[in-house]
Chain A
Amino acid sequence: MSVETDPSTVSTEGKASGRGDRLHPEPRHEPLVFERSGPGKIGYSLPPLDVPEALAIPPALVRGEIEGETEISEVEVARHFTRLSRLNFSIDEALYPLGSCTMKHNPRTNEEMARLPGFAASHPLAPEEVSQGTLELAWRLEQMLIELTGLSRVTLQPAAGAQGELAGILMVRAALAKEGNPRKTVLIPDSAHGTNPASAHFAGYKVKELKSNARGTLDLHVLEEAMTEDVAALMLTVPNTLGIFEDRILEIARIVHAKGGYLYCDGANFNSFVGVAKPGAMGIDVMHMNLHKTFSTPHGGGGPGSGPVAVVPRLVPFLPRPTIERRADGGFFLDFDRPESIGRLRTFLGNYGMFVRALSYIAAYGNRIGEVARGAVLNANYIRAGLTGVYHLKYDAPSMHEVVFSDKKQAEKGVHNGDIGKRLMDYGFHPPTISFPLIVHGALMIEPTETEGKPGLDAFIAAMRAIAREVEEDPRIVLDAPHTTPVKRVDEVGAARNLILRWSPGGRPDTPDPVR
């Protein structure tokens, strides 16, 4: 291995990143915006009313002043939100190895395109003849996703992956119901993300959990036994949440199809094979994708997402309403006349702004999009090689885009995955996903994505190795971490025991205004 840690490059006191330099000391505390408020200040300007004043509402239905709302200048708002932003870690700063979240670079071209007035200032209910551009863009994105999945049609409507899952399972249910029996059960491996069982439940199905085998993949005997004619679908994450590709996917599909069931693919991990392999060819019948993972739309502190769903021909009649269609003359229109549709999962067409960004991203890669998956898989395997032996690897089947270690070795010293994650912050990295998947006790789920270069990966590996050494030599420094973040370890227990979910007018600020 070429990545043995050089102690001089990784400080245990300071941090590897440039976040707290001397000219701009780390912000430590920022009052609430309500605590910045003061009578007489103003943060907006509106034109004078150019029509007669009017209040044609009965007084009983009119409210008084909004007690507690702010009075604040634009300058203070600019500072407040700039300071707050500096308390966040972000992808643009360094490796953000949050497994299953695909924290990749967010190209700024996409942001610029999404803000073009014909997209950002357009309205979903404008007449069709003045909406041809918005419809064309959505139609083009659907064509791209059809080509990438090898499936037949795509709905862009679901607001996020979890809503996509629900849409997909509802379509399966509608198709089965039309044949006379919607069936009762959905099979889900024990390694699956928790949204899968939740979505199946909301589609009216009982969930049967399938135990993974010693390799961390689906056991075909277990599947064969569970796959009865009472089973509507198998929901399979491909590759699974251990980052392992189900190498017997074709047999899995055959077993499911032989009993008349559908193979649902949770495409949260599509980043590992986009442009390399086609889900449609694997026997997958329905699959959601996360535009905010594979297709680089920004995570924005937790949304918005977007969760398109691709389906095989026999599920097409059941797609959410409306679909986007193209006339013979090249014009685009919304088709609401879909009597077998499962209906609507939300208003309008979906998170349209994410469509713009995703299409911009796909256009930038074009026929070279397979390089995304190649880079992601290369990087994950490089981290795996660099940390094997240092951290326990419960399942050693080949990794795709992510690798799941555990804290088994470190737990012997009383240090757990959460502590290791917190200590990583001191080295300038975001922690990996911890405590998931549930089948790995003490999981450290690491997904570097393709947008990380070798120097960043080396620094991350060095940090992880340094932490493992600290656990051996001085576990206290890890247990008390983080030491360099804007706040120290946050009392989540206190937050849950004594719920304070808002600021209240009249409530005194509980901490003094910092001198700045």
Chain B
Amino acid sequence: MNPDDLYYTQSHEWVRIDGDTGTIGITEHAQKELGEIVYLELPEVGHFYNSDEEFGTVESVKAVSELFIPISGEIVEINKAAVDEPGIVNDDPFGDGWLVKVKLTTDEEVKKLMSAEAYAEYVQAEEKEK
């Protein structure tokens, strides 16, 4: 269920690389764990983040989770539709429910991220710990 063309983090974000643009969102597993999302706090366009920095929060009724940027870059777009209607992130986390787009600075960082397969194994291991 995790698309093969994305890269994944241990904090359950994904990034899609398209030229020098990275589109970032949270995974299906993350939206399921959070439950129905009620609020997104996203950064302003123009802000620059180094990889692993917190760039926003996502809130459900019972939980709040920080968002960590998988790759360094400047925010070039935020998903206004998702801010207005956070349920989109629940419904389509890998598609219409994307969160931000960044302008990439380097191709090196994606190498540290997980493939869909590695992420699926990671999630399974995490589940077992409960």
Tell whether any CB of A sits under 8 Å from a CB of B in the complex.
yes
Max count, chain A CB within 10 A of own CB: residue among B59, B86, B130? B130
Instruction: Flag whether A57 is at the interface (Cβ < 8 A).
Output: no
Chain A minimum-CB-distance residue to B129: A441
The answer on a CB contact under 8 Å between A497 and B38 is: yes
Instruction: Flag whether B111 is at the interface (Cβ < 8 A).
Output: no
CA distance A493 to B90 in the complex (A): 13
Max count, chain B CB within 10 A of own CB: residue among A435, A441, A497? A497
The answer on a CB contact under 8 Å between A493 and B62 is: no
B40 to chain A, nearest CB (A): 11
For B86, give its contact among A435, A441, A492, A497 (CB under 8 Å): A497
Instruction: Flag whether B61 is at the interface (Cβ < 8 A).
Output: yes
For B39, give its contact among A441, A492, A496 (CB under 8 Å): A496
- Secondary structure of the A contact surface, majority rule: helix
The answer on a CB contact under 8 Å between A492 and B130 is: no
Instruction: Flag whether B28 is at the interface (Cβ < 8 A).
Output: no
A78 to chain B, nearest CB (A): 35
CA distance A496 to B39 in the complex (A): 8
* A-chain residues with CB within 8 Å of residue B87 when the two chains form the complex: 497
Number of residues from A at the complex interface, CB < 8 A: 6
Q: How large is the interface on B (under 10, 10 to 19, 20 to 34, 35 or more residues)?
A: 10 to 19
Q: A493-B38, A496-B38 are in contact. Are A435 and B61 (CB under 8 A)?
A: no
Interface flags for B12-53 (1: CB within 8 Å of A; 0: not) read 000000000000000000000000101100000000000000
B35 to chain A, nearest CB (A): 8
CA distance A333 to B130 in the complex (A): 55
* A-chain residues with CB within 8 Å of residue B38 when the two chains form the complex: 493, 496-497
For A441, give its contact among B36, B61, B62, B130 (CB under 8 Å): B130
CA distance A435 to B35 in the complex (A): 14
CA distance A496 to B62 in the complex (A): 11
The answer on a CB contact under 8 Å between A493 and B61 is: yes
* B-chain residues with CB within 8 Å of residue A435 when the two chains form the complex: 62
Within 8 A of A (CB), among B111-130: 130
* A-chain residues with CB within 8 Å of residue B86 when the two chains form the complex: 497
Q: Please report A residues at the B interface, Cβ cutoff 8 Å.
A: 435, 441, 492-493, 496-497
The 6 A-B pairs at the shortest CB distance, nearest first, are namely A496-B38, A493-B36, A441-B130, A492-B61, A497-B38, A496-B61
